[in-house]
Chains A and B, each alone.
Chain A
């Protein structure tokens, strides 16, 4: 069964203090790994898709990387506006559907 585990559950950082969020996954055949950002009371907002081990994607202060078993979301010099819940999800290539299986998320709080 496909499974996604994110750690830590919550992370508090000072503004400018870089860190990483982890996403471990088990899937029959990975079609894609997705990162989303979710603000309170809003729907998840798409950030990145990674397709194969070794791939990296960057957007502003965020950088996502992928290995065969996990993905990392690196946050460099975060700002308070980066505070949100970050969700990781996988798409199983062995199933004929585009559904995503989500982890529980990491709630990031960045203090000024």
Chain B
């Protein structure tokens, strides 16, 4: 058990809808990262937050947004969903903003857009 908790585990929704994915980092970790994993793309970095502030941005679509709250949990909001957004979404956490320490991953949320 990595200590990173993601909810829900599964999400099925229709095109055009909006969903929110939630992540609680490991105790003591201040950084939260969001990744998308699809069969043809592998693990793609979306965004990082450190202690409530955006730290780095990757290949995140404008329809997607994220935030980290004062209690350090994070939410990833996906709107105007398309079929191609179906994927596994992982959250990971680490202690610092840019340390050479490993990221610890949750077990992901599987999103299916129909």
Contacts and interface: CB of A to CB of B under 8 A. Distances in A.
B108 interface: yes
26 contacts: A34-B102, A34-B103, A41-B107, A41-B108, A42-B107, A43-B4, A43-B108, A44-B43, A46-B102, A49-B102, A51-B100, A87-B43, A91-B100, A95-B56, A95-B98, A96-B55, A96-B97, A97-B48, A97-B55, A98-B48, A98-B96, A98-B101, A98-B103, A99-B45, A99-B58, A103-B42
B42 A104 contact: yes
Contacts of A31: 100
A43 B105 contact: yes
Interface of B: 2, 4, 31, 33, 42-43, 45, 48, 55-56, 58, 90, 92, 94, 96-108, 110
Contacts, number: 72
A105 B42 contact: yes
Interface residues of A, number: 27
B33 A99 contact: yes
Interface string A35-65: 0100001111110010100000000000000
A103 B99 CA distance: 20
A100 B104 CA distance: 11
Interface of A: 31-32, 34, 36, 41-46, 49, 51, 87, 89, 91, 93, 95-105
Given A34-B102, A99-B56, A43 B31 contact: no
A89 B31 CA distance: 18
Nearest to B56: A97
Contacts of B96: 98
